[in-house]
Chain A
Amino acid sequence: MSAALLWIFLPGLAAVGLWFGRKRSGMVVFVATGLCLALAGLALVLPIGKALRLGRLLFELEPVMNIAGRRLVLAEADRPLLTFFYAIAGFWFAGTLSAGGHRQIVPYGLGMVALLVAAVAVEPFLFAALLIEMAVLLSIPMLITPGEARIGQGVLRYLIFQTLAMPFILLAGWALSGVEANPADATLVSLASIFLGLGFAFWLAIFPFYTWVPLLAGQAPPYAVGFLYLVLPTTALLLGLDFINAYGWLRNASQLYLILRLGGALMVVTAGVWSLFQRNLGRLFGYAMIVETGFSLLAVSLNSHLGGEIFTMIFLPRVIAMGLWALCSAALLKTGRSLDYESLERVAEELPTASAGLAAAVLTLGGLPLLAAFPIRIVLLQEVAGQSPLTAVWVLAGMVGLLFSAFRLLAVLTGGYFGPRRFQEGRLQSALIIAGAAALLIIGFAPRLFLPLLAGMLKAFTRLP
């Protein structure tokens, strides 16, 4: 049996089946969560490309699957990546019952994950652009609540920017095949670099193409937005790393790392500063995401083994903090409030768990010491300072901007009152929020124990330093 059959086609087919059964939301969530966690578990234990004996049964998961002359390759080194994708999807889907929202999220989300895994696996890579575009199209129904009077500009801009990435990546594929045939052709190298740069800038919402990120986060359901902001940039970042790994001329171009550093720093600084002026929780979430992408770019720009490790270690706090943020925002929305600060004033008095979870998530993404993201941010800043002290200062300024906006949000939520509260929240919701906040604290106290868990993802990129 092929690995692609198990980790791409099975969830894809399940997504189609669940779409038809979407009216039974409990069953849909249960099946999707179970399937995703099972696929994550299988990726953790099943070797790919090696014979495995189960009693009398001898079988092997083949890494390559040929379709119409193209290949879907899921090798042994991709297992941590598969675990990561399906674990995120599983936990996210599990939270939908508590977070509410409309029932399209689970089937469309599962379909998206299958397509994004296919995008990472497909060879030649230009098909990844088409598969990611399909995933983007599939994500639109998740972002619009049926019956909403007006379609927000955020959704439209998201669709425009992500769709515009596809032509650039396809053209980059053409230029790169030309470069492979004739590496000395400087024009083709320049064209490939420009097309790749623009394609990834649109995909990753790199400065100045990130206007849709806070706009969408301020308008669309937070739980769907959180899922989207997690899986799409992660796929694009991994594909970017794959490009750097695959093409020697790209890997050895010193300008690439300079551009990545500049782009990452600009994202952290501009989004960090703009976050200070936000008066909507959703928009603040969007800016926090831009800062996170900026940190990932900075980690890649280090062009070192430690940079690669930092790149992978950033993911764990990000996933937990974003999940917590999305869950808490959804809990606030369920009470009939909007995400505007005026609507959230002293909300901690009625929803203490959601408010505390929100505070933990925002402060983590702001980089507060003793929380999960802080240890790895400090290492990253030290490394960046080693290469460009001025850039590190600017990045620190952006980080402080986001942290101050987190303190401001804390003041809005509590109204300065920290006395006893009446507990009015659902048990499942509270349990999930408390678990998330506790995880952020525990990781912050013992980072060496948890942060290297995802470092296995680097195995897929053998030529990186």
Chain B
Amino acid sequence: MTILERLEVFPVILVALCSVVLLVSQNWRYSILALAIQYVGVFWLVGTIWPFGLAVVKLVAGWMAGAALSASQPEEGLREEAAPGASRAVFRTLAAGLVVILVVSVTPLVQGFALIDPQSLQGGLILIGAGLLHLGMSTRPMRVILGLLTALSGFEILYAAVETSVLVAGLQAIITLGLALVGAYLLAAPGMEGGE
């Protein structure tokens, strides 16, 4: 048993907490930090299935995506139009809590279809659920990109159990980076001069 496998519940809690922070935060620095830590959790969960060298691709790609997004200082792209308030944060936290409860309750059912350990399954499903929740609740470009990155990283955990191809891992990393670059472009485009 590897060290990663012994601490198997920790990354699930880590990704769940990070996804809640991403959902609630109105500060782009905290969001990027949460995204970076979330990718540590993703790397951890994928590392229990894939060899270390391959799993680390997820971490590097995720961190690079975070760096690309933070380079455009996405404050305006993150802040919702209505004034931020405690009720919004409470509502989003509760919604994320419902996602976690749903995931825990459906895990035994889904495990019948997928040959994957319960921790990776829960981690993947929580990220997919939180990502979709984020996409459903937000209209700001930065939030949409964060939601997509969250949902896709959840999918990547699940997909790691069925596909170990290096090429697929590489292409998925390119897409993660591409999404971040598109996000950076979406954030920077309003400030560009016409025709750039």
Residues of A within 8 A of B (CB): 68-70, 102-103, 126-127, 130, 133-134, 137, 140-141, 144-151, 153, 155-156, 159-160, 163-164, 166-167, 170-171, 174, 187, 191
Contacts and interface: CB of A to CB of B under 8 A. Distances in A.
B159 interface: yes
B171 to A, nearest CB: 4
Nearest to A101: B195
B190 A151 contact: yes
Given A145-B194, A167-B155, A174-B162, A151 B189 contact: yes
B194 A174 contact: no
Contacts, number: 93
A163 B196 contact: no
Contacts of A127: 167-168, 171
A230 to B, nearest CB: 21
Given A151-B141, A159-B182, A170-B155, 5 more contacts: A130-B171, A145-B194, A146-B189, A166-B175, A167-B155
B135 interface: yes
Given A163-B179, A174-B163, A146 B152 contact: no
Contacts of B186: 140, 144, 151, 155-156
A102 B163 contact: no
Interface string B142-168: 001001100110010001001100111
Please classify the interface of chain B as helix (H, G, I), strand (E, B), loop, or mixed, using the class held by over half of its residues. helix
Contact of A69 (B167, B189, B192, B194): B167
B167 A68 contact: yes
B185 interface: yes
B152 A167 contact: yes
Contacts of B148: 159-160, 163
Contacts of B167: 68-70, 127
Given A140-B185, A147-B190, A147-B192, A160 B144 contact: yes
30 contacts: A68-B166, A102-B196, A130-B171, A130-B172, A130-B175, A133-B175, A133-B178, A134-B174, A137-B178, A144-B186, A144-B189, A145-B194, A146-B194, A146-B195, A146-B196, A147-B192, A147-B193, A147-B196, A148-B190, A149-B190, A153-B139, A156-B139, A156-B144, A159-B182, A160-B135, A160-B147, A163-B148, A167-B151, A171-B159, A191-B113
A171 B155 CA distance: 9
Contact of B168 (A130, A141, A148, A159): A130
Contacts of B194: 102, 145-147
A170 B172 CA distance: 11
B144 A159 contact: yes
B190 A134 contact: no
A126 B141 CA distance: 28
Contacts of A150: 190
A5 to B, nearest CB: 19
Given A140-B185, A146-B196, A153-B139, A163 B152 contact: yes
A187 B179 contact: no
Contacts of A70: 167
Nearest to A67: B167
Given A130-B168, A159-B148, A174-B162, A137 B195 contact: no
Contact of A134 (B155, B159, B175): B175
